[in-house]
Structure 1
């Protein structure tokens, strides 16, 4: 039922299993929902829309609480942390569901053009695997975060002080259109429903970021392999190696270079709506979580730890993505330098006193590749911002500005009350 990519040795990161569980993984083209011969495909699509609906409903409950408590800056900022993250991943889930064919095509292109098998006789594949470790760290932090959100209210019920039957805690601050505390059955069902919606939010976040990082990492790996081929292009040039053979080799390098650039463009085209929402919301999230840590009074120790993990996971998630985007820019622009230093002028043949410059067609190919490589390959957020370390520092700077403003407003209000 699920789309089976053509290259069987291809193994996506384990985090991508959650995209299947959340209904976001593309189905095979032969699976036709709403047909009698594809019951599983139809059920899967219905499950995917249920996940989206459950996240949307939970966000609406949180938004109702947010609007009801706008006068309290502490409660508002605390609620914004979970609400904004829910909105971000609601957009992600909706985007993945509405672009299944593009997602399937992207996976297929990656399989044929970018994937570097572990059996390849180079160290690039091993380097790519090492770079993916950072996504495992990010995943661990986010997993700890959602576990704490789902478990801490239960700890408060069973091990904390006695709680009023009408004030039993939920994973997030919410207002319901019904009395969720009227009975234990209603409370438990509401708790499970909202908890699973939160799990879908967080797992979609780290799973989709991981697959984006996976694509970018191996695209950088292809640039590294390209650099190795360019560096060896004229290293074995000797009298018996004809110009036609050299020209054919460089044409293959040009074709591979264009293929990698085209894949990066398709990658940007698919992910840039999600990245735009991510970069816009991240600065607000970091600001508000930091505000909770600094100004929270009489906070339960578990909540304090929860917010520490929250800001750590938010920063790591943003840094890992921006660092991968920055690496793509570096590797793509490094191609121009490698081309210029590949001894295209024939200097390696001077020792044998048989120096002859490369022919004009080869020099033209190299010149065009150098010109093309001077324009960096980058992943953008709808052209508004580039995924790079410069963007990471800009977002942190914006978050600090928001935090300073929010903190001054908070203390001004406190002084007025005193």
Structure 2
């Protein structure tokens, strides 16, 4: 009942990244476009209800965190510590809301990927292996972020246990209980079943936030890796367009005119696939760019705050130190891998022009029919028995089309954050530079407050 498109060739070998299962658990995965049975309609209603419940749950938890952030705004240390989780929650609340409101676009993107971009191991094994290898980095990042949310959910329980051991029973009820994140509640959440329920509610909201983060990033990397693989396939086809056209012509015992038509036919097929890749990248940009914009706006602030906690934190519990260390590693790696994949798309698209220009369009194929015994003859006899050179060249139609393709390939194919920034390694370096600037500003405020 969930939308699960399959390619026409080798459908059993196709699967989305394992991390995407969390998008299905969180209610963010699109359903099949048509459901006719009563059970399917009932399932659609339940699934949509659950999806909106997850969105509301994350929104309420962010509200609790924001209330604490506003209440402690004057304290730099507390504000930066709470700002890490609050801004992370805001980022992924936008992701959840975006996925929920753009189910049709999500469905179309998945369908186009399966139809036009997927690469099977039986057709291009070397390219497919590179795509699979590029996805391993997302598995590592997913593991890091899973460890992060586990620490956020488990460490407060350890703190609660230590609190019950070291505190007198009559004083324990008046001591504030630890939660996964710093929050301010409009009710008394420190006693009995209300504490347990609030803890579970906010902890699962955090799980939904982090799993949505690495699941959607893994899906983006999946699309980007195989798109770059398709570009590399086109590069190889362009390099071989002249010899392959001649081989096809000679197999059919064709003439020079047949050879020229074969060259044009193969170039048209490459141009058609080139346009398909442009359209898919454009659809990726339309779908992911709002999320990327929010990610770019908040990532530099998040990295700055976590780095500030690591550098200036005094008497920090070892668990909190490890938690912030994993936090900054996962944030930096997540941002770097997104920019790295965007940069790969840019580089592979620009490389098309080099391969098009270097495809031997200017010389074509030179042929000379040689006598089998010509090496044993006298030089004068060799000249007499040497067959004339036959020259197969590309025609004007081929060269004009090639020229247009080169001109188009000079314009980079890229993914932007709502046109404000291009997803590339240059953007990553700019974000790190901004984070360092914010860090220096925060540190100067902190030093002035200390003095």
TM-score norm. by structure 1 comes to 0.96
- 1:377 alignment counterpart: 413
Question: Which whole-Å CA distance do the structure 2 matches of 1:210 and 1:48 have between them?
Answer: 20
The answer on 1:366 being equivalent to 2:402 is yes
Shift of residue 248, structure 1, vs aligned partner: 1.0
**C-alpha displacement at 1:351, in angstroms?**
7.3
Equivalent in 255, 264, 275 of residue 281 of structure 2: 264
| 2:331 alignment counterpart | 314
Report if the CA contact (8 A) 2:357-2:406 is conserved: yes
Give the distance between the partners of 2:245 and 2:22, measured in 1 at CA. Answer: 50
Aligned to 2:18: 14
Which residue of structure 2 aligns with residue 171 of structure 1? 180
Task: Give unmatched runs, 5+ long, in structure 1.
Answer: none
Q: Determine which of 218, 226, 230 is the counterpart of 2:238.
A: 230
Give distance in 2, aligned partners of 1:137 and 1:39.
37
Aligned residue in 2 for 1:191: 199
**Secondary structure at the counterpart of residue 173 of structure 1:** coil
Q: Does the aligned pair in 2 maintain the 1:150–1:195 contact within 8 Å?
A: yes
- Tell me what 1:2 maps to: 2
Equivalent residue runs for 1:382-393 within 5 Å = 382-393=418-429
Partner of 1:305: 322
Structure 1 CA distance, aligned partners of 2:273 and 2:27?
34
* Structure 2 counterpart SS, 1:345: coil
Whether 1:249 and 2:266 are equivalent positions in the alignment is yes
Cα deviation per residue 1:324-372 (whole Å; 9 max; x = unaligned)? Answer: 0001000000000001111111255277733343100000111111111
Task: Name the counterpart of 1:30.
Answer: 34
Native 8 Å contact 2:22 2:211 kept in 1 = yes
- The question of 1:403 aligning with 2:439 is answered yes
CA contact (8 A) 2:263 2:394 kept: no
Structure 1 position 346 matched with structure 2 position 363: yes
Aligned: 1:282 with 2:286: no
User: How far is 1:244 from its partner?
Assistant: 1.4
2:238 and 2:311 map into 1 onto residues whose CA distance is 53
Question: How far 1:220 moved relative to its partner?
Answer: 0.5
- Give yes or no for the alignment of 1:150 onto 2:153: yes
Query: How far off is 1:159 after superposition?
Result: 4.0
CA RMSD of aligned residues (A): 1.6
The DSSP-based 3-state class of the residue aligned with 2:243 is coil
SS in 1 for 2:204: helix
Deviation (angstroms), 1:302: 0.3
**C-alpha distance in structure 1 between counterparts of 2:393 and 2:259, whole Å:** 13
Distance 1:14 1:122 in 2: 21
Q: Which residue is equivalent to 1:124?
A: 127
Query: How far, CA to CA, are the matches of 2:2 and 2:57 in structure 1?
Result: 23
| Distance apart, 1:246 and its partner CA | 1.6
Change (3 A) 1:151 1:255: same
Secondary structure of the equivalent of 1:354?
Answer: strand
Q: Secondary structure at the match of 2:166?
A: coil
CA contact (8 A) 2:245 2:262 kept: no
Contact kept in structure 1, 2:64 and 2:184, CA below 8 Å: yes
SS in 1 for 2:144: helix
Matched, 1:412 2:448: yes
Q: How does 1:60-99 map to 2 (within 5 A)?
A: 60-99=63-102
> 2: distance between equivalents of 1:396 and 1:128?
27
Contact (CA 8 Å) 2:345, 2:414: kept in 1 or not? yes
Highest CA radius of gyration, 1 or 2?
A: 2
**What secondary structure sits across from 1:38 in the alignment?**
helix
- Residues 1:39 and 1:346: Cα distance change in structure 2 (over 3 Å): same
1:387 aligned counterpart, secondary structure: coil
**What's 1:41 paired with?**
44
- State the distance in 1 between where 2:190 and 2:35 align: 43
Secondary structure of the residue aligned to 1:118 is coil
Structure 2 unpaired stretches of 5+:
370-388
SS in structure 2 at match of 1:25: coil
CA distance in 1, matches of 2:401, 2:145: 47
Distance, in Å, in 1 between the alignment partners of 2:183 and 2:349 is: 47
So what's the TM-score if we normalise by structure 2? 0.89
Q: Is the 8 A contact 1:32 1:41 kept in 2?
A: no
- CA distance 1:32–1:386, change in 2 (3 Å): farther
